[in-house]
Amino acid sequence: MSRLRRLFSVSYCRYYSTQQTKKKLPIISCKRPDFNHYEGQTYSKFKGIQLSSKGWLHAKSKGDYFIIHGDANKKEEKSVFRQSFEDVGLCTELVEVMSNAGFSLPTEIQAKAIPAILKGYNTVVTAETGCGKTLGYLLPIFQHILNWKPNVPEEFNSPLAVVITPSRELASQIGEVAQNIAQNLNLNVTTLVGGKTKQKMLNPPIEYCDLLVTTLGAYSKLVTTGIFKIHNVHHVVLDEADSLLDDSFIEKLSYVMKKFSIQYKVEIQTPPVGCQVTFVSATMPQELPEAVQSFVTPESLKTISTSRIHKILPHVPQKFMRLGKAQKPLELLKLVQADVNMKRPVIVFSNKTATCDFVSMFLNENKVECVNINGQMAVTLKEGKFEMFKSGKVDVLSSTDIASRGLDTTRVQHIINYDFPLYTADYIHRCGRTGRLGSVQNCTVTNFIAWPREIQQVQRIEASVRKDNDLPRVNANIKRLIEDRILKSVDAGAVRSVA
C-alpha cells in the first residue's frame, strides 16, 4: 500500500509541475509544444539544447514554426528613465523644447549619453534600436552650440558640429529631427546628401550653418574641394557607425576624420578648442578596426550602452516559419493582405535587389499597393518613395537593407523578412524598424526560412535565446565576412541546397 501511495505521490507531483508550467506563458512557443521554452528553464550540458529548428535542414520540416515572445516586462529598457532632463544637465531652453514636443523625461540611453557628451568625452553610444539615440547626441550638441556660437566668428559653410551617416535617407531623417529642434533655438541646420555634388562644386552654396548633417561621400568631396570648412568643427558624430567602420567605408572615413583635431577629452570652454567624436549604433563590433586609431585614441572612448544591447526585442513577438522557396509568395500575399485589411503598415525585407523588385511587382499585380526602394535604384527614382510610406500614402514597402538602419518607422506594425538576413546585425536592425519608442502596441515580426544558411542562422539565434545569451556573431564588417565566406567556399566546394 505504501508503495502505491508513493507512486501516486510522484505521479501527482509530476502532473502538478507540468500543469504549473503550462500556466506560464512560454518565451518560445513551438508548433510542437514539447519544444516550448519557459523563463528560468535550463538544459543539461550532457543532452544539450533541444532546438525546435534542429531538423529544419530536412525538406520534411516545411510547415514547422516557432515564435519568440520574449518578456514584455523587460520593455522597461525602452521606457523613460527616472532622471529628468534637468538632472542630466540640459539647459532651460532645451528642456522647454523637449517639453513642448511632449517629452518630459529622457530614456535610459539619453540619461546616460547626454552627461558624458556634455562633459566633452569621446563616446561610443550603443543601445537597442528605437530607444532615442538620435536625441541622445543631438541635445548635448545643440547645448554646446548655444554656448559656443556667441564666441565664434560666423563664417559661411563653416559648421560647429557635423553628423555623418552612410545613407541619404538617414541623413535626411536626422536633418529633419535636428531642424525641428533648431528652429526653436535660432540655430541653423543644413542637410547635405549626394546625388548633386557636382552641381554644388560648380555652383558652391553660401550659407551659415551651425550643424551639418551629411552623407560621407558628399561631405568628403566638398571638404576636399574646400567648399565646406572644418576649422570650426568641434564635434563629429558617426551615426550608424558600424556601417561607416565597415571595410566599404573605412578608408574614406579615415581620410576625412584625420582632418579634425580630435582630442583625448575636449575641455568645454568658450571659445572651444579641439574636437570630440561620438560613435552611434545599435550594433557595434567588440573591437573597433585598427584604422580608427588613425584619428582617435581608443583609450579615450567612453562606452555607453544598455543591458538589452544585442538581444532579441523583448516586447515584439517574432515568428520563424520554415517554408519552401515556392511557398513564400503565397504566404507573403496572405500576410500582407491581412495587414492591409487591418490598416497595419508593413515593411517586407529581401536580401537582393531582384527579390525586392519581384516582391513589389507581385504584390501590385495582386492589387496590393506597394512601393519599393533599394541601393541600386537611381536617386531620382528612390527620392520620395520612403516618404510616401512614412507619410501614410502607401502602407506596404518592399526594401533591401537600405531601409533597415536608423530610419524612423514608428508607424510600422509588421516586419516580414521574405529573405532571412544572413548576418545578425542586419536582423537586429530590420526588427528594430518596429516596436520603437512612440510605436503603437502589438507590433510583430515574421520570418520566412528556406535556405540552409538561413536555417543555420536561425538555429544560432534560437539557441542564444534559450540560453539567455547575446545574439551570436554581431559583427558589422559585412564586406569582410562576405570575402571570408567566398574564400572558404572556394576551398570547401559548392554548398548543396536542401530547400
The residues facing 415 across adjacent strands are: 347, 445
Q: Out of 245-259, 344-358, 371-385, 440-454, which region has the weakest mean confidence (pLDDT)?
A: 371-385
What is the distance between the alpha carbons of residues 276 and 140, in angstroms, rounded to a whole number?
12
Kindly report the three-state secondary structure assignment for every residue of the chain: CHHHHHHHHHHHHHHHHHHHHHHCCCCEEECCHHHCECCCCCCCCCCCCCCCCCCCCCHHHCCCEEEECCCHHHHHHHCECCCCCCCCCCCHHHHHHHHHCCCCCCEHHHHHHHHHHHCCEEEEEECCCCCCHHHHHHHHHHHHHHHHHHHCCCCECCCCEEEEECCHHHHHHHHHHHHHHHCCCCCCEEEECCCCHHHHHHCCCCCECCEEEEEHHHHHHHHHCCCCCCCCCCEEEEECHHHHCCCCCHHHHHHHHCCCCECCECCCCCCCCCEEEEEEECCCCCCCCHHHHHCCCHHHEEEEECCCCCCCCCCCCEEEEECCCCCHHHHHHHHHHHHHHCCCCEEEECCCHHHHHHHHHHHHHCCCCCEEECCCCCHHHHCCHHHHHHHCCCCEEEECHHHCCCCCCCCCCEEEECCCCCCHHHHHHHHCCCCCCCCCCCCEEEEEECCHHHHHHHHHHHHHHHCCCCCCCCCCCHHHHHHHHHHHHHHHCCCCCCC
pLDDT-wise least confident of 266-270, 303-307, 422-426:
266-270
**Which of 35-49, 64-78, 348-362, 422-436 is modeled with the greatest confidence?**
348-362
> In DSSP terms, which residues pair with 161 in a beta bridge?
211, 235
Q: Which three cell numbers stand for residue 297?
A: 585614441
pLDDT at 417: 97
Has residue 3 got a pLDDT over 90?
no
CB proximity list for 414: less than 8 A, separation 6 or greater: 335, 339, 344, 345, 346, 347, 434, 443, 444, 445, 446
Angle between helices 133-148 and 92-100 (to 10 degrees): 140
- Residues 13-17: contacts with CB within 8 Å, 24+ apart? none
Average pLDDT for 407-436:
89
pLDDT given for residue 327 in this prediction: 97
Highest averaged pLDDT of the listed ranges 3-12, 404-413, 439-448: 439-448
Check: CATH 3.40.50.300 for 79-305? yes
Q: Do domains 25-70+312-492 and 79-305 have the same CATH topology?
A: yes
Q: From 150, 232, 223, 236, select the one nearest 186 (Cα to Cα).
A: 150
Per residue in 470-490, pLDDT (tens digit) is 888 776 554 554 445 444 444
- The pLDDT of residue 351 is above 80: yes
Contact 365, 336 (CB under 8 A): no
Is the distance from CB of 239 to CB of 165 less than 8 angstroms?
yes
What is the C-alpha separation between 456 and 422, in angstroms, rounded? 9
CATH number of 25-70+312-492: 3.40.50.300
R_g over Cα of the chain: 25
The band of 374, judged by pLDDT with boundaries at 50, 70 and 90, is confident
pLDDT in tens, 321-336: 999 999 999 999 999 9
> What is the model's pLDDT at position 197?
67
Check pLDDT > 60 for residue 96: yes
In the numeric block, the cell 558617426 is attached to 238
Where in the chain are the domains?
25-70+312-492, 79-305
Q: Rounded mean pLDDT of the chain?
A: 85
Mean pLDDT on 208-229:
92
- pLDDT-derived band of residue 294, with 50, 70 and 90 as boundaries? confident
pLDDT at site 475:
64
Which amino acid makes up residue 135? L
pLDDT band at 446 (very low <50, low <70, confident <90, very high): very high
131 contacts 108 by C-beta, under 8 angstroms: yes
| pLDDT tens per residue, range 224-280 | 888 999 999 999 999 999 889 888 888 899 999 999 999 888 777 777 788 999 999
490 to 72, 358, 451, 493: CA distances (angstroms): 45, 30, 19, 5
Calculate the alpha carbon distances from 367 to 149, 164, 166, 333, 349 in Å: 54, 39, 34, 10, 19
Q: Which residues of 19-38 are buried (b: 16+ CB within 10 A; e: fewer)?
A: eeeeeeebbbbbeeeebbbe
Mean of pLDDT values over 18-40: 79
pLDDT at 184 over 50: yes
Whether the Cβ atoms of residue 157 and residue 209 lie closer than 8 Å to each other: yes
Cβ atoms of 30 and 66 closer than 8 Å: yes
Question: Any idea which residue has 539565434 for its cell?
Answer: 461
Q: What is the pLDDT of residue 406?
A: 62
Highest mean pLDDT among 147-151, 235-239, 308-312, 465-469: 235-239
